[in-house]
């Protein structure tokens, strides 16, 4: 059983797994490592690191700005792997990359996944890779014991969900809203309907993301039967508010994760 599987097995005893997202290298390498440690100390069950990209089409303004800050600070894929190695010195928490295909292709699929495995990455989600074109990537992922994570949206057909589930490992990332990442007022009925629809089609753990930011949202997802909740923009907003005050940022991040996990 891999680290991601263990995280869901442990979390299922009580509450959904908390998957916390931050952009690798935002606002710089050292602070990013502190952010990751704060999220883990707060109780994050799975850490999701965004590999900064110049055109993150799935992300809203908050995360786009974080990508820009990371790139401006000189963050490269090599540095992202270094960040993972720094985290691995202190923590065995599962680590998942959220990236885009151009980054993987440019490095070379085999080299990217080998380097990720050696650094200590457990799963990789390529946001713009359709399942129909994922065969080579999934084969290499299996070679290096890295779970391929896939997005499922409210417009995904049942037939396509079955294809995705057949390729995926670890968990499925269910997109709770129509649109890009960002904080929303509430969890939509469409998200809950999606959760129930996908549940009938696969036994993989199901994690809801996009727009989830409050303990009330977490409680709604838990009541609906989600195996995990994914929070990104709310975390990155805390980072952005405290760019000049990391000593304030770190405890605020810890408290935020703790509050989200109480529901």
One-character DSSP codes across 14-58: TSPEEEEEEETTSS-HHHHHHHHHHHHHHT-SEEEEE---S--TT
Residues 6+ apart with CB under 8 A from 50: 21, 22, 23, 24, 56, 59, 63, 66, 67, 97, 98, 99, 232
Three-state DSSP class for 75?
A: coil
Contact 59, 107 (CB under 8 A): no
3-state secondary structure 114-135: HHHHHHCCCEEEECCCCHHHCH
Other CB atoms within 10 A of residue 68 CB: 15
Task: List, by residue number, the catalytic residues.
Answer: 48, 59
């Amino acid at each position: 059983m891999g680290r991601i599987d263990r995280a869901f097995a442990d979390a299922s005893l009580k509450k959904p797994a908390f998957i916390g997202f931050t952009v690798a290298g935002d606002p710089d390498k050292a602070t990013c490592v502190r952010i990751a440690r704060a999220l883990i100390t707060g109780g994050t069950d799975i850490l999701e690191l965004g590999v900064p990209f110049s055109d993150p089409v799935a992300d809203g303004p908050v995360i786009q700005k974080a990508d820009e800050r990371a790139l401006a600070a000189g963050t490269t894929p090599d540095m992202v792997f270094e960040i993972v190695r720094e985290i691995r010195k202190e923590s065995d928490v599962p680590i998942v990359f959220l990236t885009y295909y151009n980054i993987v292709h440019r490095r070379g699929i085999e080299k990217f996944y080998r380097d990720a495995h050696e650094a200590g990455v457990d799963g990789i989600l390529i946001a713009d890779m359709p399942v129909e074109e994922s065969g080579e990537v999934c084969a290499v992922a299996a070679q290096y014991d890295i779970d391929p994570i896939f997005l499922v949206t409210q417009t995904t057909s049942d037939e396509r969900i079955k294809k995705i589930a057949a390729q995926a490992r670890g968990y499925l990332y269910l997109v709770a809203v129509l649109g890009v990442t960002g904080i929303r007022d509430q969890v939509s009925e469409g998200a809950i309907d999606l959760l129930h629809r996908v549940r009938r089609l696969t036994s993989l753990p199901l994690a809801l993301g996009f727009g989830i930011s409050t303990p009330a949202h977490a409680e709604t997802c838990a009541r609906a039967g989600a195996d995990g909740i994914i929070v990104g923009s709310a975390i990155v907003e805390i980072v952005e508010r405290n760019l000049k005050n990391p000593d304030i940022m770190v405890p605020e991040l810890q408290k935020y994760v703790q509050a989200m996990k109480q529901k």
